[in-house]
Structure 1
Amino acid sequence: MEWLENLFSQTYINSLQITIRLFLSMLLGGFIGWERESRRQPAGLRTHILICMGSTLLMITSIYIPQTFQNFQNGDPGRIAAQVVSGIGFLGAGAIFRLGVNIKGLTTAATIWVVAAIGLSVGAGIYSAALIGTGFILFVLTFLTKVEKKYFTDFHYKELQIHFNTARIETDAVFATLSRFRIKTVSLNILQSRDKKRSKMKLVIQFPDKTDLKQLYKELNTINHVTQIHLGQDF
């Protein structure tokens, strides 16, 4: 296996090295992209592969120029890599979008940034860093996702409207009920009819995924003078 070790330890850029590095970056970027694609994220398999291969190609070019052209012997191979690190943020930002007060796509944006780092590592011939880094990244994206779901309750922001047939609102009873279901109130707005015979509470709440919605409605309806309850879609 000495020939294989020599092949992967070679620093001179030639056609064989270019092929090996681009192929490896395609595989490693594909592993991470596959995980994102399986979760129906905006940046999936092809996007991650192209980012990883593009970063690898830029790193290869950075090394190749001072290696090949005599006039650029003092060139810095890290300059193009630095531009990749800063420039990839614009692409990652495109994966982040906001639904009301909910932010989506942060993890995918992070994988876009880190897969570019993997591509640069492969392009520079630091194969061990690229392989170990890919393994740790997949561990974070798969195993730690299960840990998060088990120990951390996911929630969404929703609008809750509670209608009363009186001007007097049982706010303490409402907050006590929400508290029992671990629902946090973000904002509160109280509206009252002109004849002061009806009123309405509009709340923006953090709504846990595992909330027993049927039981929540049942307990809210036991509060005095409640006539209607409406829970809106995610923000």
Structure 2
Amino acid sequence: MNYVFEFSQVFEAWDELLAGALRTLWLSAMSMAIGLIVAVLGALGKANGPVWLRWIIDGYIEIIRNTPFLIQIFMVFFGLPAIGIRLEADQAALLAMVINFGAYGIEIIRAGIESIHKGQIEAGRALGLKPLQIFRLVVLKPAVQAVYPSLTSQFILLMLNSSVCSAIAASELTAAGNDIQARNFRSFEVYFVVTAMYLVMSMFFWGVFAWVERAFLARPASR
């Protein structure tokens, strides 16, 4: 084996990798926040909405869950201009990630809502809670507690899937790695470092999610 590893050529472009990583974190965090809103509203509509709304939501879920994420990105970035909607690469990446997560998130949140016993809702009404209070305190929080591991796993998968956004030249980590590799041709070194950075970002998000669970979702200790 005569290959000589030259990581120095990669670290010379560290500022580009760091900027790409920060952009990945931003895209991921924004798509998680907006996607969670879509998921909660969609799950609520699917659970309590009229038949026509449930059909629309079911159609959206099936289309997104049964098509490749890459094709969804292309539809947003290359397809929307056909109807007069033009987005920058990062905007298209964010929209595609929100749409993708929303479909999976709706089913996760819906499963959590359906796990709530109807007696708890009746108890909330008996206590005089308003409908919004019942949904927020009696339904939504216990539902999120029940599905939190699945929800956070989907968040991490969303962050990792952001690498596909490099196909439309979104300014995230993989795109930065591709640009550096195209200049120095050090494929192994570049993608080894990029892989390590994705691992670090995944651990960062796991840490944040663990803190959120302890701070806001921890169940009272049983006696």
TM-score by length of 2: 0.31
Higher RCO structure (Cα 8 Å, ≥6 apart): 2
More strand by share: 1
More helix by share: 2
TM-score by length of 1: 0.30
Q: Look at both structures and tell me which one has the larger radius of gyration over its CA atoms.
A: 1
